[in-house]
Amino acid sequence: MPDPTEPQSADPPDAPHVRAVTPDVLAGERVDRAVARLSDCTRSEASDAITRGDVVVSDRVVTKPSQRLEVGDELVVLVDPRRTPQPLAPDPAVELHVVFEDEDLIVVDKPAGLVVHPGPGHDASTLVHGLAARYPELDPNSWASAVGEPDRPGLVHRLDRGTSGLLVVARTPEAHADLVAQLAAHRVGRVYTALVWGHPEHAHGVIDAPIGRSRRNPLRMTVAVDGRDSRTHYQVDGGFDDPWRSALLTCRLETGRTHQIRVHLDSIGHPVVGDDLYGPRRPTPGLDRPFLHARHLEFIHPGSGETVAFDSPLPQDLEQVLARLSPQPG
């Protein structure tokens, strides 16, 4: 019997998974990178698809992941290259700080450092492993579970590993569909506290800039003309001059792209303090993660129809950083 965790060859489907004519933005790009980008898969999964003969460029099967695309090339990915998720093993050792729960949903206050769901390099001890252990309806291995994606049961949105704060998890398919629809309609209120380098020129503003994956570094997102619409509202709550010239911001998400606040603040020249991926590698004693906290969450309860709101205090590590800062005079 073949190993279900390994990629398996498959007969071409009636319609290919992806069919696209190479645009200018992908001219000169490696085929494996293009497949990963267009299929929303990893480079490893893209390379496996090429090895299996599932990728065709201008009517010729690709044999080398390093082959470069030219403008006008027709790229066809015959079969979805994403691997079937491995069974998720519930893990009762994962500590959960649940601030609210009822028969429809759960609101969790996530600590910094906890990964939300399985992914490359994180196949155990994530938030969803803890949720599956505590809430049987979120165990995707159960015949009765149908709440969201198999490797992300119940998740409506997510937080980066280094970001602390609130997120909501659905316990029923109906609640999940309702909350996802609210998120898509920009009806979920998400407010963050961020400490950034420097002093923004304006006391408040809206950063309206599309976000896509960086072509130079696949771990980074970036402002890109071909990215997805993204908007972040910000307000400056205070400035500091010592020991770092910095400012405390309130950020409100209108959309929710990967790394959105971090990318947007970096794009206006004020990256989040402690963010080594987007910001400068400056010493920040006592801080080993981005100074970013999801402090407020508000939505319409899918069961009662009433607006509910939750707040999370600033974690101790971030409070200690603020205590060392001297306010800007005047």
Catalytic (active-site) positions: 160
C-alpha count within 13 angstroms, C-beta hemisphere, residue 233? 8
Closest CA to 245 of 208, 207, 282: 282
The distance of Cα 190 from the centroid of its chain, to the nearest Å, equals 14
Return the H-helix or E-strand segment holding 101: strand 98-101
User: Which string of DSSP letters, residue by residue, matches 40-97?
Assistant: T--HHHHHHHHHTT-EEETTEE---TTPBP-TTPEEEE-S--PPPPPPP---TTS---
Contact between 39 and 90 (Cβ < 8 Å): no
Contact between 43 and 33 (Cβ < 8 Å): yes
Closest CA to 192 of 146, 237, 144, 133: 237
Q: What is the 3-state secondary structure (H, E, C) of 252-311?
A: EECCCCCCHHHHHHHHCCCCECCCCCCCCCCCCCCCCCCCEEEEEEEEECCCCCCEEEEE
Helix/strand/coil for 193: strand
Closest CA to 274 of 167, 190, 120, 161: 161
Q: Give burial (CB, 10 Å; 0-12/13-18/19+) of 109.
A: buried
Token pair listed for 181: 């629809």
